[in-house]
Chains A and B, each alone.
Chain A
């Protein structure tokens, strides 16, 4: 195994990211956003890179998480840890439902179904505006308090997000290294063989969805507390698209690739959108170039660099992380 893909190195890189962001960025909001999306993208990667399921519906769970934060914090005044736990549970439940329905179809149909479900949840949120605030979203979502003090400063909330990120990233690493994670990879590589060995592959896929949805919703709740709003745009198709783009650009062969993908996209967006409002044109071009020339994503570059330095094994052939085996 390439040295940079070792779990210890991955975890170390995650810790390093948490330490480096405050030193290099002037905006605590942006730094927190990067860590929040790093969790979201890693959760998407659990499906794409490990299970071979290309989900176009990750925005559903992100939106659900932010609505959970909005509704439970502003209407029921529940404590933040309870709300975060609720986002985990609801995210997992809804993801299990979406996963259960979507994996009934394979390959490209699976991808199309997840996209259609993303639209369905968008229209649900739009239609039931009494619950979600409709176009306006839910406003005035408070930040958590620690020891009686509200984390109103951008950097104090960053610390809160960073602790969550490290825990979540660590748990995802453990999950991918466990028998469970190995089984997901077996399903990705050859589903019929995994089934023939006796693994209930459908159940494993639904579980992968549930974990992915739980993490994504958790991050969605953190995001709502970061910006103080649970907007309708958090459950839009656009968010699902972004999450997937970040995942593929980062590279789906390791979890830390997802952190790079989220960071790369958000820093690019932050820089370019200030210069040119139509910068998505460049993003579109960037996607085409990644598909043509950088198929293992940014992480593929890191792997190549690492193997050049250590003289270790080079990167394997492009992983077939498509929906084909979905």
Chain B
């Protein structure tokens, strides 16, 4: 039974990893750009939620506001700075986004202090659910349901709408999209904001589960990397499968070998790479 709970926990965490990885993926797909500041946007989303709820705002208002602020800030950064460096080699993309991540992390410490804090689950979801003889926190069930709906929405948005078609077209050939009359500069800005907003949303949702601390960003970044390495960048299904796999592995291992739970994520990744160099779904 404990394992069932851990699997449930893992699905919840895994869906957050999925959100992070999809954001990273969408940005990479369109801009050919690895965003090393992705973890910092997650950090910012979590801290803004912490800040707004501790000012008495309800979580239901804080979560979307935090997400929008992160998305807006990211779009602004893209419009002012990042579009200047797309032509440069990858090492400079990494240098700039690592620099941004450092700045966001240090600003977080300056504004909110180095110690971190906790965020209470939203009113109405503070209780527990009885599953037979066992209890399970309502908020964690909510995140599973909420992220599942989000995942379906995202799939529809990316695969079923004109907007998604424009984004996918842009990732095939930005020049052709410009020839067709699309303002690719504006699309780039919007997509970067959107991808970063997903990271911010993941942070907002994670805050009541794991609290906030200034170094949660780098942890999220490396897990998102593991997910896209295993699942393939630019692959929606890959991010979903790999995100869930990583989340469940981490949770189940937390019951079997608590000290080594996070280590196992990386061991698992090393094994996948050793046995299946192209990742689970064999693309890229």
Contact = CB atoms under 8 A, between A and B. Distances in A.
Chain A facing B: main interface SS? helix
A324 B90 contact: yes
A101 B273 contact: yes
B226 A284 contact: no
A321 interface: yes
Nearest to A114: B225
Nearest to B109: A278
B120 to A, nearest CB: 29
Interface string A111-152: 111011111100110110000000000000000000000000
B277 A116 contact: no
Given A119-B266, A124-B263, A280-B102, A105 B277 contact: yes
A320 B88 CA distance: 8
B262 to A, nearest CB: 5
B100 A284 contact: yes
Interface in A228-271: 237, 241, 244-245, 248
B127 interface: no
A195 interface: no
A187 interface: no
Given A278-B109, A284-B106, A295-B92, A116 B100 contact: no
Nearest to A118: B222
A2 interface: no
Interface in A282-315: 283-288, 290-292, 295
Given A115-B225, A119-B222, A127-B259, A322 B90 contact: yes
B84 interface: yes
Contacts of A108: 28, 34, 90, 233
Which residue of B94, B96, B98, B109 has the most chain A CB atoms within 10 A of its CB atom?
B94
Q: How large is the interface on A (under 10, 10 to 19, 20 to 34, 35 or more residues)?
A: 35 or more
Interface of B: 28, 34, 81, 84-85, 88-92, 94-96, 98-103, 105-107, 109-110, 218-219, 221-222, 225-226, 228-229, 233, 259-260, 262-263, 266-267, 269-270, 273-274, 277, 284
25 contacts: A48-B91, A54-B90, A54-B91, A101-B270, A104-B273, A104-B277, A105-B229, A109-B229, A112-B225, A116-B229, A117-B266, A119-B222, A119-B266, A244-B98, A248-B91, A248-B95, A281-B110, A284-B100, A287-B98, A288-B100, A290-B95, A291-B85, A291-B88, A292-B84, A318-B88
